[in-house]
Structure 1
Amino acid sequence: MSGSSEDGSAPEPYDATPYLPSRGGLPAHQRAAADCQGCPLHRDATRTVFGRGGSDARLMLVGEQPGDQEDREGVPFVGPAGRLLSRALREAGIDEDGLYVTNAVKHFKFTRDETRKRRIHKTPSLRETVACRPWLMAELRLVSPELVVVLGATAGRALLGPSFRVGADRGVPRPLPGAEDGPRVLATVHPSAVLRARDRDAAYAGLVADLRTAAEAL
Structure 2
Amino acid sequence: MTKRSDYPGAGPWVPDEPDEDRLRSAVQECRGCDLYLDATQGVMGDGPVPARLMLVGEQPGDQEDKQGLPFVGPAGRLLDRALGEAGIDPAGVYKTNVVKHFRFKRDGGKRIHKSPVRWQVAACEPWLLTELGLVRPEVVVLLGATAGQAVYGSGFRVGAARGTPTPWPEQLGSLEAPPTTVASAHPSSVLRSRQRDADLAALVADLVVARELLG
Bigger radius of gyration: 1
1:161 aligns with 2:119: no
Output the amino acid matched with 2:130: A
The CA deviation at 1:197 is: 1.0
Contact 2:82 2:203 in 1 (8 A): yes
1:53 aligns with 2:47: yes
The CA deviation at 1:29 is: 1.6
- Looking at structure 2, the residues matched to 46 and 82 of structure 1 have their Cα atoms a distance apart, in angstroms, of 19
1:214 aligns with 2:213: no
1:191 aligns with 2:187: yes
Contact 1:14 1:127 in 2 (8 A): no
> Which moves more between the two structures, 105-114 or 180-189?
180-189
Output the amino acid matched with 1:126: R
- Looking at structure 2, the residues matched to 159 and 30 of structure 1 have their Cα atoms a distance apart, in angstroms, of 22
> Which moves more between the two structures, 77-86 or 17-26?
17-26
The CA deviation at 1:14 is: 4.3
Q: RMSD value over aligned CA atoms?
A: 1.6
Please name the residue that 2:5 is paired with.
Answer: 11
Contact 2:7 2:31 in 1 (8 A): no
Please name the residue that 2:93 is paired with.
Answer: 99
Q: Equivalent of 2:163, from 167, 171, 176?
A: 171
Written as runs of structure 1 = structure 2, the 5 A alignment for 1:31-180 is 31-114=25-108, 117-178=109-170
Please report the TM-score for the alignment, with normalisation by the length of structure 2. 0.94
- Looking at structure 2, the residues matched to 136 and 160 of structure 1 have their Cα atoms a distance apart, in angstroms, of 14
Output the amino acid matched with 2:123: A
- Looking at structure 2, the residues matched to 156 and 188 of structure 1 have their Cα atoms a distance apart, in angstroms, of 9
Contact 1:14 1:128 in 2 (8 A): no
Output the amino acid matched with 2:93: L
Segments of 5+ residues of structure 1 without an aligned counterpart are none
- Looking at structure 2, the residues matched to 163 and 185 of structure 1 have their Cα atoms a distance apart, in angstroms, of 16
> Which moves more between the two structures, 146-155 or 160-169?
160-169
The 3-state SS of whatever aligns with 1:37 is coil
- Looking at structure 2, the residues matched to 157 and 196 of structure 1 have their Cα atoms a distance apart, in angstroms, of 21
The 3-state SS of whatever aligns with 1:210 is helix
Please name the residue that 2:20 is paired with.
Answer: 26
Please report the TM-score for the alignment, with normalisation by the length of structure 1. 0.92
- Looking at structure 2, the residues matched to 186 and 14 of structure 1 have their Cα atoms a distance apart, in angstroms, of 30
Segments of 5+ residues of structure 2 without an aligned counterpart are none
Please name the residue that 2:201 is paired with.
Answer: 205
- Looking at structure 2, the residues matched to 172 and 25 of structure 1 have their Cα atoms a distance apart, in angstroms, of 31
